[in-house]
Amino acid sequence: MLHVCASAQEQTDRLCDAVCAALRADLAADGHALLVVSGGRSPATLFDALAAAPLDWSRVTVTLADERVVPADHADSNAALVRAHMLRGAAASARFLPLVEDPADPQRCAVRAAAQWRALAQPPSVIVLGMGEDGHTASLFPGAAGLPAALDPGCADAYVLISPPAAPYPRISLSLAAILQARRLLLSIAGHAKRTVFEQASEPPPRAQWPISFVIQQTRVPFDAFWTA
């Protein structure tokens, strides 16, 4: 379902409420919760809001839907963004699992990330995704080598190594199969261009031209998108 928000602040507030509701449900039911977030620049305000959310963050594990294979202190690191904007205040006690250990060996990073996911042995309480104007989500970019395998519902690897056609770094990304293990999926998008892509990607059938279409059109996991101009 697409929720239209009147402002960026309303979008942040509603996303924060949805994330917290999912985490609280799993904390109550299982005693622990798993939050998976995406990077980029737009999630910073959501991360700031989550940092102040009144949750028992000591029982929450946080990890990433995707990551650029760069050092942990790099300006383009999603892990650095999470550390700077979310893992502080009330959320400082959360357990954080980054994806890149040795940026000189991208394939080893992907293998280690997949093993880390298996060791968690729990479905994500909620995954927060973004979307590019090209229809990519996480780091599932149209035209990328390895995309067909990453979109295969039977993919055995939770994380895959992706080399986007026009990006400066290789990426590690959740596969579609791993994304669909979540108990809830949320999508944050802004701007009229992305609204148009969202609407195009909502028309069956799902197509690799818009990887996000496989998330929008699936019926396995509750899915909500929040859009603002």
Cβ contacts of residue 100 below 8 Å, gap of 6+?
67, 68, 69, 70, 71, 72, 77, 79, 109, 172
The 10s digit of each residue's pLDDT in 53-96 is 999 999 999 999 999 999 999 999 999 999 999 999 989 999 99
Number of domains making up the chain: 1
pLDDT bin (cut points 50, 70, 90) of residue 166 is: confident
Domain that residue 147 falls in: 2-228
63-79 per-residue burial string, b: 16 or more CB within 10 A, e: under 16? bbbbbbbbeeeeebbbb
Length, in residues, of the chain: 229
Give the strand order in the sheet containing 171-174. 66-68, 171-174, 159-162
What pLDDT is attached to residue 22? Answer: 98
pTM, two decimal places: 0.97
Beta bridge partners of 4: 227
Distance CA 66, CA 129 (A): 10
Give the amino acid at 5.
Answer: C
Greatest Cα-to-Cα distance within the chain, rounded to the nearest angstrom: 44
To which residue do tokens 């690799």 refer?
Answer: 208
The 10s digit of each residue's pLDDT in 89-144 is 989 999 999 999 999 999 999 999 999 999 999 999 999 999 999 999 999 999 99
CATH code assigned at 200: 3.40.50.1360
* CA 220 remoteness from chain centre: 17
